[in-house]
């Protein structure tokens, strides 16, 4: 299982591999787990700044380097573009794809225009890393909120030019359903990619499962790890 994590908001810094601390120990009992920072986040460096058009290629290169011939891919937020893009590029090596709190490039013109307007508005607002959590999560769980903020503070905030490039990166699905099993996970309180937008992305892959976690914000895997792990377990059982 390979997972990636990045930010999808101009008001929130990206995250790092450390936010998967509630998944890796759980799944490592049965699988070889690899987590990686997208280029430009955490301990991963890149020249010239992050480039969304390289995400899928970078992941394929990493899988080649690891000798990973059969993999399940998990993409949270921005990394949905990376895992779905690499799965579509090399479907024979992928068994399962979990897309969490992401549109993964499955957007139409209207959705893209909506996102671009939001990027332009949010670019003028002060930094608020908590936007990646449900609005009431800091009050409900101040301890994990502190941990979340310390981890996300390891990265610089994203700029509007990068986010515009991300929104512009659309993925085309094949005429025949891909051979790997796919599932979406979303929080009904997501303030970055609201549930109706995720549902539109899911509608383009109707054979995929969709799990909606009540009370969860954008970072479902961090806020509600048991529900997230259960959804991934269900997918891997297919």
Q: Show the domain range for 81.
A: 2-236
The total domain count for the chain is 1
Phi-psi region of 2 (alpha: psi -120 to 50; beta: other; left: phi over 0): beta
Contact 74, 1 (CB under 8 A): yes
DSSP class of residue 91 equals: G
Closest among 58, 66, 48 to 1, alpha carbons compared:
66
pLDDT band at 127; cut points 50, 70, 90: low
Q: What is d(CA 117, CA 160) in angstroms, rounded to the nearest whole number? A: 11
Q: What is the pLDDT of residue 153?
A: 82
DSSP assignment of 15-53 equals --GGGGTTTHHHHTTTS--EEEEPTTSTT---SSS--GG
Average pLDDT for 66-83: 96
Model pLDDT for residues 6-62, shown as the tens digit of each residue: 433 333 456 789 999 999 999 999 999 999 988 877 778 777 778 899 999 999 999
120/14: higher pLDDT: 120
Kindly report the CATH number assigned to the domain that includes residue 112: 3.40.50.1820
Contact 49, 40 (CB under 8 A): yes
Q: What is d(CA 165, CA 179) in angstroms, rounded to the nearest whole number? A: 28
Average pLDDT for 52-76: 95
62/2: higher pLDDT: 62
Beta strands in 78-148 (DSSP E): 94-100
Average pLDDT for 121-139: 81
Average pLDDT for 97-118: 93
């Amino acid at each position: 299982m390979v997972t990636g994590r990045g930010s999808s908001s101009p008001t929130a810094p990206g995250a790092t591999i450390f936010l998967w601390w509630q998944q890796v120990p759980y799944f490592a009992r049965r699988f070889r787990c690899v987590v990686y920072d997208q280029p430009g986040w955490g301990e991963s460096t890149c020249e010239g700044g992050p480039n969304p058009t390289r995400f899928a290629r970078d992941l394929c290169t990493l899988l080649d380097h690891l000798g990973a011939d059969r993999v399940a891919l998990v993409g949270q937020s921005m990394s949905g573009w990376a895992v779905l893009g690499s799965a579509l590029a090399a479907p024979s090596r992928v068994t399962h794809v979990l897309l969490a709190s992401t549109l993964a490039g499955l957007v139409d013109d209207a959705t893209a225009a909506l996102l671009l307007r939001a990027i332009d508005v949010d670019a003028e607002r002060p930094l608020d890393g908590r936007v990646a959590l449900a609005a009431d999560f800091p009050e409900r769980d101040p301890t994990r909120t502190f941990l979340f903020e310390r981890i996300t503070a390891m990265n610089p905030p994203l700029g509007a030019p990068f986010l515009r490039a991300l929104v512009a990166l659309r993925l085309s699905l094949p005429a025949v359903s891909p051979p790997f099993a796919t599932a979406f996970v979303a929080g009904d309180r997501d303030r970055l990619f609201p549930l109706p937008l995720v549902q539109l992305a899911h509608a383009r892959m109707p054979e995929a499962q969709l799990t909606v976690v009540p009370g969860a914000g954008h970072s479902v895997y961090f806020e509600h790890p048991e529900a997230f792990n259960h959804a991934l377990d269900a997918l891997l059982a297919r």
